[in-house]
Amino acid sequence: MKLRLIIVGIIIGLLLLGGAFYVGFSYGQAQVPSQFLVEGLDNQTVGEAAGVDFSLFWDAWRVIEEQYVGRKDLNRQEMVFGAISGMVKALGDPYTVFFEPQESKVFKEDVSGSFEGIGAEIGIRREILTIISPLKGSPAEAAGLRAGDKILEIDGEPTFDLSINEAVQKIRGPRGTAVILTIIRNDAEPREISVTRDTIKIPVLEWEVINNDVAHIQLFSFSENASSAFRQAVLEILRLPINKIILDLRNNPGGFLEVSQEIAGWFVNPGDVVVIEDFGDERQNREYRAIGNGALRDFKVVAIINGGSASAAEIMAGALRDLKGVTLVGAKSFGKGSIQELTNLKAGSSLKVTIARWLTPSGVSISEKGIEPDVKVELTEEDRLADRDPQFERALEIIRSQ
């Protein structure tokens, strides 16, 4: 069974560690292929990729079996898991992950409900562990973590060589316990932030009317219930003498592709291409189209994005600009423009692998690059301390001029 996910990064507390194992090799003198010399394993047919000598793996395995000082106590199943993890890590893609059986079980349980952690999403940015977005109302937000914060240490342990899942393993934990993150922000001096873990529930949206003429919708995620929450908000807005919306996608880490299709369907024509799935080879690209009735088609819309806008939030922003000419205000988005597919493997293990990258309707790649706003407005630490929001104020100014 395969489960398709669209996730930026990964919500802290969702995943467990997928360990890494680096396979060495040694020159073997035996003429018989090494895989036939390994005792205790079923012989397997080895696929032969062009230019790849897979017998090196079996040579290394045989040397360990014959020479390693602790060979009497080898855990061969763990060796296999470690070898797969090492292979996956060699791809250099932080979102492709191998889960051992227990990790796979926890992952499947966690994506279906609430979880315990600090309530932030993390990713790898320029090989540095980075906060993509603290969730609204989460311990991470309350502790002062911000989108773009670089995590240098977790409880005093350096993070430079940690995968996302290794970091998640160290950050997540039981409700009421604390984790200390050493972060650096805007090239300032490193600082320690203590965050007390709690049960995390992913928020959906809030909305309000500004001066009786503009609806401000803050969409915090594209979770399972976001479609129904957005629908309820729209039905209330349609009863008001309003035709202008500010769609606030800041610190929205994404969620489900289908939800982004449904919410986009309120703003554009039914059947319009919302996003294109690019497989990166000769396979034909796949188009995903808007689902809905286009009830907000004639509304004036301005969207706000920042470095915490990722995945489905970037899909939404790109679609609204390409299809409707919506002005994007704020800061460059995160750049998590890829899709992962979860495949169940033997022994209860599973593999979450990046299978494609997202393109906006005009064919622009989101992955790594992110989306540049049309009107760039920075939100500084001084703005936060003074409770100012120049990004929202600029968006309000633009939409009122339309």
Catalytic residues: 311, 322, 336
**Angle (nearest 5°) at CA 249 between 244 and 250:** 125
Beta-ladder partners of 70? none
**Closest listed residue to residue 133, CA positions, set 254, 263, 264, 13:** 254
Contact, 155 vs 179, CB < 8 A?
Answer: yes
* Single-letter amino acid code for the residue at 397: E
Write the DSSP assignment of 122-176 as a string of letters: EEEETTEEEEEEEPTT-HHHHHT--TT-EEEEETTEE-TT--HHHHHHHH---TT
3-state SS class at 114: coil
Q: Which two tokens stand for residue 107?
A: 């992952």
d(CA 371, CA 360): 10
d(CA 260, CA 253): 12
Contact, 284 vs 258, CB < 8 A?
Answer: no
Residue 101: Cβ-neighbour burial (10 angstroms; 0-12, 13-18, 19+): middle
d(CA 263, CA 241): 21
Contact, 155 vs 170, CB < 8 A?
Answer: yes
3-state SS class at 184: strand
For 14-38, what is the HEC assignment?
CCCCCCCCCCCCCCCCCCCCHHHCC
d(CA 332, CA 330): 7
Write the DSSP assignment of 187-238 as a string of letters: T---EEEEEE-EEE----EEEEEETTTEEEEEE--B-TTHHHHHHHHHHHHT
Q: Which two tokens stand for residue 310?
A: 């990722």
Residue 72: Cβ-neighbour burial (10 angstroms; 0-12, 13-18, 19+): exposed
